[in-house]
């Protein structure tokens, strides 16, 4: 019995060593600071580690990803702009503009329904590689990127610590980038501090908050709200859906949006609903950047809804009367949107360029 127990113990010990003690790997977990947000569901095949996140951060800001060595992921996703770009369409290495407004990168750990405006990338790791080979963006090949990284000795130890081998391939690159982007969390806005009882809102901001969450009611105009929370709900002020918000008539829809990924005619003109957190940092607005200011966005929802076959019914229902917002209501609504700005997140050194 003693010998049998000893053998079993040895087997268990060897198995544990194979799993947890890969030579060179540093599996120290990276602990996310998500505050009162719900616990995110991190994929079990890419658990966050300090080494993996550090590698992803270095890669995110490395110019080797671009054809001419002038651009990085951070060029179009700037921390000061909530990891977005305030240019109408980001300019790539060939001097050509992209097709859509750059989406902000934060709180990605809670996005569960594809990535990009049209959702063509299933996972964040899939999204991370696409701009590299896009001719309008970094315009490089994955093979060239891998070769350039292999030629940089500083990456040998980092890949070994993150994945147990200095071997570099596109999968490891995508997993490391995914890890870093999942750590970019924004939860310290004035609104968050108001909910926590550590900050107060002005009367204008409070009125804007009430309008934001109140439903549209054409029968009782004095009680009617802006109904923003219909689409921009939950702790992250988005619903993880693809929707048509009445920007164009069927004839004028030139960007087919979600349809390009699904080929479902019911998705024509639908785009991923973005979070309104940090919205003041990320002009211009909509997938095509057609609105330069938040005031223009509010004006669209108040009186500019267009009819098309796929427009969301709740949005369409407001067309007859508009949202009936006064000039002061619109100003207050914009004031509330500014309370969603997280200044700490835009200057946090752990998200900055380490190179």
What is the mean pLDDT of each successive set of 10 residues along the chain, which is 355 residues long? 41 40 85 94 96 98 97 98 97 96 97 96 97 97 98 96 96 98 98 97 98 95 94 95 97 96 97 98 98 98 96 94 96 98 97 94
What is the pLDDT at residue 22? 67
Phi and psi at 243, nearest 5°, equal: -140, 155
Alpha-carbon distance values, 158 to 40, 66, 115, 225, 354 (Å): 26, 21, 27, 52, 13
Which residues of the chain form beta strands (DSSP E)? 242-243, 271-272
Residue 14: predicted pLDDT: 40
User: Nearest-5° angle of CA 262, CA 284, CA 189?
Assistant: 95
Q: What is the pTM of this model?
A: 0.91
Widest CA span of the chain, in angstroms? 85
pLDDT for 12: 38
**Cβ–Cβ < 8 Å for 34, 183:** no
pLDDT reported for residue 24 = 86
From 256, 276, 275, 251, select the one nearest 266 (Cα to Cα).
256
Give burial (CB, 10 Å; 0-12/13-18/19+) of 45. Answer: exposed
How long is the chain?
A: 355
């Amino acid at each position: 019995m003693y010998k049998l127990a000893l053998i079993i113990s040895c087997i268990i010990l060897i198995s544990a060593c194979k799993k947890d003690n890969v030579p060179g790997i540093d599996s120290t977990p990276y602990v996310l600071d998500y505050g009162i947000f719900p616990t995110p569901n991190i994929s079990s095949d890419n658990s966050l580690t300090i080494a993996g996140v550090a590698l992803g951060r270095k890669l995110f800001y490395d110019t080797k990803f671009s054809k001419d060595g002038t651009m990085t992921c951070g060029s179009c996703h700037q921390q000061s702009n909530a990891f977005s770009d305030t240019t109408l369409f980001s300019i790539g290495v060939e001097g050509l503009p992209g097709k859509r407004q750059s989406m902000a990168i934060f709180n990605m750990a809670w996005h569960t329904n594809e990535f990009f405006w049209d959702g063509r990338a299933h996972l964040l790791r899939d999204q991370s590689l696409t701009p590299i080979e896009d001719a309008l963006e970094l315009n490089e090949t994955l093979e060239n990127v891998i070769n350039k990284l292999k030629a940089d000795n500083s990456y040998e130890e980092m890949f070994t610590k993150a994945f147990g081998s200095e071997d570099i391939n596109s999968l490891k690159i995508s997993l490391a980038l995914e890890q870093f982007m999942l750590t970019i969390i924004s939860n310290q806005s004035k609104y968050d501090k108001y909910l926590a009882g550590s900050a107060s809102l002005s009367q204008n901001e409070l009125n804007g908050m009430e309008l934001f969450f109140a439903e549209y009611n054409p029968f009782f105009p004095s009680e009617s709200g802006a109904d923003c929370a219909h689409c921009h709900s939950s702790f992250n002020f988005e619903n993880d859906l693809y929707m048509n918000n009445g920007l164009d008539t069927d004839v004028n829809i030139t960007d087919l949006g979600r349809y390009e990924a699904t080929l479902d005619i019911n998705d024509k003109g639908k785009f991923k609903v973005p979070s309104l957190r940090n919205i003041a940092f990320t002009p211009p607005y909509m997938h095509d950047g057609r609105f330069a200011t938040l005031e223009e966005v509010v004006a669209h929802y108040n009186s500019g809804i267009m009819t098309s076959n796929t427009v969301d019914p709740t949005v369409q229902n407001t067309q007859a009367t508009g949202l009936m917002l006064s000039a002061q209501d619109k100003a207050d609504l914009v004031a509330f949107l500014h309370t969603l700005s997280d200044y700490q997140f835009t200057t946090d050194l752990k998200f900055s360029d380490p190179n």
